[in-house]
Each structure stands twice: as C-alpha cells, then as structure tokens.
Amino acid sequence: MLSKKEIYFQNEYQKANFFQERFNSSFKYLRGDTKKKWNKTFRNEIKDFLSCKIPLPQNFLLHEIHHYLTDDLLKIEKGDNPSNDRNEITKLMFEFAESKNNSYIGLVEWLYRDVIRKDFYFQRIPTVRMHIPQENFLYPKWHSDCFLGHSPKEINCWFGLTNNVESGFWLIDLEKSQKWISEFDYNFENFLKKARSRDKKFNDLGFQRAIEIKNIYDSILLFDSRCIHTALNRTKTDSTTRVSIDIRIILKEEFEWVTINEEPLYIGKGVK
C-alpha cells in the first residue's frame, strides 16, 4: 500500500501542468528566440572573472581551462554530504554566481517577458557548474529535483557556456520518468538508494530511456522538474571542460506549502 506521500507524488506525476500546456512537451529548447545571447554573455563574464582570480593566459578558451588549473585549485574538501564536496575552483563558481546579479536579473526578466509570460518565483542565486576531465565523481546520479525536496511544479532552466562535443547531460522525458519512478511505487528514497548503488543494470536502463542533450552552446533548455536526469564525468572521447548554469523557477500561481502528517513536504536534502 502506498503511503500518503507516495500517493501525493503519484497524483502529481499524472497531472498535466503549465509546462505541458505551454510547450506541449516535457522539455523545450530556446534557440534564436532573443537577440540577447545569454550563453555568450555569461561565458565572457566568467572568463573575465576567472582571469582576475587565477593565473590564466590571455584569450584562453573556457573549455580548455583544465590545462591551467593547479592541484591546489582541484583538491577536494569533504563536505557534510558527498554532494557538497568542494574544491577551490567550485568555490570560485559560487563566488561568480553571487557577483553577477545584474546579468542574472536580466536573464530572469527575459524569461518572464518573452518565454513564461506569467509571474514566477526564481532561484535567488544561479548554480554554476564546472566539470573538468580530471574529475571522477560518482556519476551517473539519476534523479529528479522533486526527489531532493523540490516542488514537482518547478521548471528547470539549463544552458552551457562551453562548446563541447558531448554535453554529458542526460534527460528522460516525463512519460518515461513517470514509468521509472512508478516501478519504485513513487518511493524517492528507494530510487535514490538504487541510484547511489552503482548498479549497472539500473544505470543502463536509465541510458536506454534517456537522451543526451545536444547543441546547448548557443541555446537554453527548459524542462519539467519531474523529468529524471543526470550529469556525467567528462569522457575520453571529449576530454574538455564543461561549464553550465542552471536555475529553477515556479509560477506564483503554482507555489504552495504542502504538509503531510503536519510535516512540510518540500524540504531540501542538504545538497548545496
């Protein structure tokens, strides 16, 4: 028998929401929809920022930055959660994200005016990620953000700043995501436990159901937060650095405070 929480998310996965009604899909590429090139704007800003922080050659290419990163910048410091392990270059990504408020607000205003066209709440500070060839984190990590305490009504916005052959970002559409989590009776904890187990059959099933996101260098990807996805380590076939930005938004009309058994349902898992 399903718990109240599992029944709630079963219902949420079966509902059509704003995203399906607006885009008739579970994900949407935004290409050429604006004269403002957000990928280029943030790419140039992060290059300027890093040039002021660490020794880098003039006119370096962001996807080749790993050639200039010292061991001190790459040394991992353990956090309170494996997902919160950090090195100095990652900390610089957080510092950059906090310092570029004007550009970020510009991006959010464009999303509001030209894409969503409804009032929404948005992530206060964007998440900037850098995946370099030397790293060997425990990927894949199949998940949906609502497995980690986010609302299933959120919209994810993701775009790349580097021109990589492989994005290393895999996404499963909503229908197949619902099928996969239903096989776990909508028990997120059991799904995540399996995802962390390094089970080859489980991971292979994810790749069979997923597509690798392409052509993200000059476009922006929006996708339904219920979609299961994962990043990957950089591979031998594309040993370049990938830098990306992701944010989450939720319509004002869909924001809600849900409790089950007097406990709030949407609680973060301590993953920063």
3-state SS, one letter per residue, for 142-173: CECHHHHCCCCCCEEEEEECCCCCCCCEEEEC
Residues 6+ apart with CB under 8 A from 230: 139, 140, 141, 142, 143, 169, 170, 206, 210
Tell me the C-alpha distance between 152 and 149, whole Å.
9
The structure's pTM equals 0.92
Q: Residues 102-126: what's their mean pLDDT?
A: 95
In this predicted structure, the answer to whether residue 166 has a pLDDT above a threshold of 50 is yes
Maximum distance among all alpha carbons in the chain? 62
> Cα separation of 210 and 167, whole Å?
13
- Asked if residue 272 has pLDDT above 50, the reply is no
Q: What is the mean pLDDT of residues 193-217?
A: 94
pLDDT value for 235: 83
Residue-level pLDDT at 134 = 72
Helix (H, G, I), strand (E, B) or coil at 21: helix
**How would residue 271 be classed by pLDDT, with cut points 50, 70 and 90?**
low
Local confidence band at 220 (pLDDT 50, 70, 90 cut-offs)? very high
* pLDDT value at residue 84: 63
pLDDT of 35 strictly over 70? no
For residue 230, what are its two tokens? 């994962």
Percentage with pLDDT > 90 across the chain? 75
Q: Is the pLDDT of residue 78 over 80?
A: no
CA 265 vs. chain centroid, Å, equals 21
Question: What percent of the chain is modeled with pLDDT above 70?
Answer: 94
Which residue bears the tokens 């830098």? 243
User: What is the C-alpha to C-alpha distance for residues 133 and 151, in angstroms, rounded to an integer?
Assistant: 33
pLDDT at 110 over 90: yes
Residue 61 contacts by C-beta under 8 Å, 6 or more apart in sequence?
none
Identity of the residue numbered 245? I
Place 267 in a pLDDT band, splitting at 50, 70 and 90: confident
